[in-house]
A and B are shown apart, each in its own frame.
Chain A
């Protein structure tokens, strides 16, 4: 009897649909009297309704050609979700969500999923997790413009949300937000934390937390550049005091916070919502930071014989698949850089702990191939450096992550295609070095100068070393730290700063930055340290022998070569000239970049034939090279002069007694 009534209801609905009596269908379930009569039959026919009506009708074609029918079936699907067998229907929804071809279809099935998950309650968290995973999978499959992954600049970032594909993506995110809100409320109301220690097992609350954090990962993370305060995105300001005072960047962040809320982009709104909701579920927003080291520092050894598999960790937040570190990184980026920390966040965490733990996340973000994520990593690092109240101790450098971080940071600073990224990288590197205590600063600089190949960064770091020593030299009443004088100072200058990599054979143009920095260092110390507090004057003879003398020769050779070569090009170059010149150069064993000669294999760098370009271009390149060498020679003369003058001055200052004695001689 009941079966036939249910079958009749099914037939009736189909008939009403055929007749396009959509209001009639609505009446069947929304009018109190009808609903009371019909609802009891729905469990029996729910899957039929889904299979015969909803699934075939909820298509893009119907949505475009017959919107009222689509809407009706959409409503019907929601009703079906209330009565269909949970597990079976969940599977259907997961498949449909993953395969949804448009936001309309996605929304329709997501609405149904919301109903199903509300019905499910906090039982079977694994099933809930799979359902939510289908949503994440769909998001990740959405097409995005290539430039989002390849990197974009500040100007492009401002127009990001005008792009149709990004608009679609944001529509998906907003829909998801609408879907999970009632679930979130249910969890916050009913899935309360137990009074003892935090339960990190697979439960609905934790599954939802991971889901929200996963949403912060790619693709949303790729759009984060639109979420930058201008001062950070356009670091074209004068490098004023901030260079030596990282804490000033903290003011930038606070200013950004004050401005928050004004004309937020969709990306900002979504990030804010997701971050806020995840924080509500987590309670202590720093909780995950405490787990980062465990995940990133020590590799978990899988051991099937002891039941240790990828997913068997009883703490769900330690499983990479459930909570990727990039997602955690983006959460803390939003929280700290985006100033979304709730006012109730604990304030008793030690800044050093936040720095060290976040460094793992920064390293992970910097190691990603997408420039927007690298940007986020740099900004997170910059923020965390800005909150340090005391110098970071040298013991911290025992953590392997510093090496990993420096490696990734220097790669970005030296070789990132985006200028803004390189520039921010250099700022962060500067702040990073300055954040440490003196012994550690020295250690980092020495290691970087020992290992880095990028001449520009090497030059910058040499200058930074000079600046740091200068600060201490200026404090005349305090002794110099051990690392900035004596043996350590000598070792830094002779081994890392005042270095001509291949003696007189060095390619001066390839190493021009570091050579210029070394010469500047040699201009500075004779003047600033006439009292020889650092021990500079003791090592000067060695510097002269190792750097200045070969450099003088190399500069002469190179300039002579380039000028001669320029003349030959002006007068019409020939291959035999090249050969002859190469032989001469081999005899002189000078390896010069852009010399137009075949590489003798000793230089590395760019030395080789000038590309086959026109005479004028060739002359232009040669002129640039000559200008570069001439600039170096100017600094070289300045440094030599400076050393000579101050050396004489020192002699005069230290020899008055001898002069007196001379006078006294008959």
Chain B
């Protein structure tokens, strides 16, 4: 076979020729988007070496097919098997063109690379770079637009587990609201980094997919790693907040508030909170804008977030939101009532009582608040009785301790209280330490 015949034309126009020096193992080659590790030495046609990773004594790493290296390099490396060694001859238009790269690469230079493929791995898209979301690009796109927060997204997705396709459909949603149409978090995170027109395979670990619960409908067991093949068909531009005037901000905020309310009605509290938060962040600061509309929107948003948190049993967060409402409107009955409820649940009984009493003060006929006042009082009394018992026993213990060197083991007051768990007991003990009057005793 002639020497020319051994060369494989990779570009179709003779611009990138490959000559294999040592066959690699297996049949697989790296796919676009992979992180590739290799050794290379670049020479001019006269044999002058202009660049070498071997000389640097470390392999060269780059993301394949992303235009990070000269075209010929991307093209050639994508055809290499593990362990393969080859020569790559690159015409100027696939390298540095008519200009060259002074001073080492003269204008219009043909470059010859000697390559050795060391390995490759998928691109890690996970927030912690822990491999929990990985991408392999199946079809590259020249476009560079990617979905941003709030942007319209149109895609085709196909989810598979254990070789079985469990979810295949066209989807359209606003970026950030994927969960409303059953898009797992990992997929949405990956889509943020996809260009329009790109098709990719996304491998998602359980924590960004169906987690420990799994998915009964899709027959996905708990803690399963799944795969999605996604084609990003189109995406719009996200909201350019910095460009918005105050009135535009208010208008956009209302849109998000509406979205939040819709999700609330569907009992998707997580997304509802997300939308209300966006609404809240879009609204101009009260310092800059003192209009009643902005203030009432802020109050309504905080109040709604509080309700969502309550529904999700996050009572501390709900209380924070109520506080935010009350900062804007100290006599807001709804916020006072909700904060009272939160305080009641998190056992801040005195505060809860105060909140409900204020509600009654503002709305004397509010029966719900009146009922809660009764409950609060009962609970406070009950707690005081418990405390009495607790401290009576503690004093007894201390007194006994004075007399005996070894305290009797069975005086476990907490056990005697019956209904307390160990955690409650610890918490109560901590609380007692925090209360000034008790410290005085």
Q: From A307, which residue of chain B is reached at the shortest CB distance? A: B128
CB distance from A307 to the nearest CB of B (A): 7
Interface residues of A in 366-415 (CB under 8 A from B): 387, 389-390, 393, 395-396, 398-400
A318 contact set on B, CB distance < 8 A: 129
CB distance from A297 to the nearest CB of B (A): 8
Interface: B397 (CB within 8 A): no
Q: Cβ of B58 and Cβ of A290 under 8 Å apart?
A: no
> Could you say which of B99, B105, B121 contacts A347, with CB atoms under 8 Å apart?
B105
Interface residues of A in 291-324 (CB under 8 A from B): 297-298, 300-301, 303, 306-308, 312-315, 318
> Could you say which of A196, A389, A393 contacts B97, with CB atoms under 8 Å apart?
A389
Q: From A283, which residue of chain B is reached at the shortest CB distance? A: B58
Given known contacts A290-B63, A398-B143, A400-B148, A347 and B50 CB-to-CB distance under 8 angstroms: yes
Interface: B259 (CB within 8 A): no
B71 contact set on A, CB distance < 8 A: 350
The answer for the CA separation of A283 and B60 in the assembled complex, in Å, is 9
B63 contact set on A, CB distance < 8 A: 290
CB distance from A220 to the nearest CB of B (A): 27
> Could you say which of A196, A349, A393, A400 contacts B69, with CB atoms under 8 Å apart?
A349
Interface: B145 (CB within 8 A): yes
Q: Cβ of B127 and Cβ of A313 under 8 Å apart?
A: yes
Q: From B195, which residue of chain A is reached at the shortest CB distance? A: A398
Q: Cβ of A196 and Cβ of B104 under 8 Å apart?
A: no
Q: Cβ of B99 and Cβ of A283 under 8 Å apart?
A: no
Q: From B98, which residue of chain A is reached at the shortest CB distance? A: A389
Q: Cβ of A389 and Cβ of B99 under 8 Å apart?
A: yes
B50 contact set on A, CB distance < 8 A: 347
CB distance from B244 to the nearest CB of A (A): 14
Interface: B156 (CB within 8 A): no
CB distance from B176 to the nearest CB of A (A): 10
Given known contacts A396-B144, A398-B144, A197 and B119 CB-to-CB distance under 8 angstroms: yes
Q: Cβ of B69 and Cβ of A313 under 8 Å apart?
A: no
Q: Of B5-13, B35-43, B292-300, B345-353, which binds chain A?
A: B35-43
Interface: B263 (CB within 8 A): no
Q: Cβ of A348 and Cβ of B42 under 8 Å apart?
A: yes
B51 contact set on A, CB distance < 8 A: 344, 346-348
Interface: A284 (CB within 8 A): yes
CB distance from B104 to the nearest CB of A (A): 6
The answer for the CA separation of A393 and B142 in the assembled complex, in Å, is 10
A195 contact set on B, CB distance < 8 A: 59, 118
B146 contact set on A, CB distance < 8 A: 297
> Could you say which of B35, B53, B189 contacts A346, with CB atoms under 8 Å apart?
B53
Q: Cβ of B68 and Cβ of A350 under 8 Å apart?
A: yes
CB distance from B62 to the nearest CB of A (A): 7
The answer for the CA separation of A618 and B71 in the assembled complex, in Å, is 65
Interface residues of B in 85-144 (CB under 8 A from A): 96-105, 113, 118-119, 121, 127-130, 142-144
A200 contact set on B, CB distance < 8 A: 129
Interface: A63 (CB within 8 A): no
CB distance from A551 to the nearest CB of B (A): 30
B144 contact set on A, CB distance < 8 A: 395-396, 398-399
CB distance from B109 to the nearest CB of A (A): 11
Interface residues of B in 149-182 (CB under 8 A from A): none
B264 contact set on A, CB distance < 8 A: none
Interface: A230 (CB within 8 A): no
B207 contact set on A, CB distance < 8 A: 306
The answer for the CA separation of A247 and B97 in the assembled complex, in Å, is 14
> Could you say which of A247, A284, A297, A301 contacts B58, with CB atoms under 8 Å apart?
A284
CB distance from B272 to the nearest CB of A (A): 17
CB distance from B214 to the nearest CB of A (A): 17
The answer for the CA separation of A351 and B55 in the assembled complex, in Å, is 22
A315 contact set on B, CB distance < 8 A: 129
CB distance from A444 to the nearest CB of B (A): 15
Q: Cβ of B104 and Cβ of A197 under 8 Å apart?
A: no
Given known contacts A198-B61, A300-B127, A346-B53, A389 and B96 CB-to-CB distance under 8 angstroms: yes
The answer for the CA separation of A349 and B104 in the assembled complex, in Å, is 14
B375 contact set on A, CB distance < 8 A: none
The answer for the CA separation of A273 and B66 in the assembled complex, in Å, is 33
CB distance from B101 to the nearest CB of A (A): 6
Interface residues of A in 204-246 (CB under 8 A from B): none
Q: Cβ of A284 and Cβ of B68 under 8 Å apart?
A: no
Q: From B145, which residue of chain A is reached at the shortest CB distance? A: A398
Interface: B73 (CB within 8 A): yes
Interface: A352 (CB within 8 A): yes
Q: From B120, which residue of chain A is reached at the shortest CB distance? A: A197
The answer for the CA separation of A250 and B73 in the assembled complex, in Å, is 25
Given known contacts A347-B101, A389-B99, A395-B144, A353 and B67 CB-to-CB distance under 8 angstroms: yes
> Could you say which of A196, A283, A390 contacts B37, with CB atoms under 8 Å apart?
A196
CB distance from A218 to the nearest CB of B (A): 25
The answer for the CA separation of A351 and B119 in the assembled complex, in Å, is 25
Q: Cβ of B103 and Cβ of A254 under 8 Å apart?
A: yes
Interface residues of A in 483-501 (CB under 8 A from B): none
A198 contact set on B, CB distance < 8 A: 61
Q: From B119, which residue of chain A is reached at the shortest CB distance? A: A196
B101 contact set on A, CB distance < 8 A: 347, 351, 387, 389
The answer for the CA separation of A501 and B127 in the assembled complex, in Å, is 48
Given known contacts A197-B37, A312-B128, A395-B143, A350 and B121 CB-to-CB distance under 8 angstroms: no
Q: Cβ of A284 and Cβ of B42 under 8 Å apart?
A: no
Interface: A193 (CB within 8 A): yes
B35 contact set on A, CB distance < 8 A: 197
Contact pattern, B 193-224, Cβ under 8 Å of A = 1, otherwise 0: 10000000000000110000000000000000
The answer for the CA separation of A353 and B192 in the assembled complex, in Å, is 20
Q: Cβ of B61 and Cβ of A250 under 8 Å apart?
A: no
Binding site for B on A (CB under 8 A): 193, 195-198, 200, 247, 250, 254, 283-284, 287, 290, 297-298, 300-301, 303, 306-308, 312-315, 318, 344, 346-353, 387, 389-390, 393, 395-396, 398-400
Enumerate the 5 nearest inter-chain pairs by beta-carbon distance, A residue then B residue, closest first. A398-B144, A398-B145, A389-B99, A347-B51, A314-B129
30 contacts between A and B (CB under 8 A): A193-B58, A196-B119, A200-B129, A247-B99, A250-B102, A254-B102, A297-B146, A301-B189, A303-B127, A308-B127, A312-B128, A315-B129, A318-B129, A344-B55, A346-B51, A346-B60, A347-B42, A347-B50, A348-B60, A348-B70, A349-B70, A350-B67, A350-B68, A353-B66, A387-B101, A389-B96, A390-B97, A396-B144, A398-B143, A399-B144
**A-B contacts besides A196-B37, A306-B127, A398-B143, 19 pairs, CB < 8 Å:** A193-B58, A198-B61, A283-B56, A284-B58, A284-B60, A298-B192, A298-B193, A301-B189, A307-B128, A314-B128, A314-B129, A348-B69, A348-B73, A349-B70, A353-B66, A389-B99, A389-B100, A389-B101, A393-B142
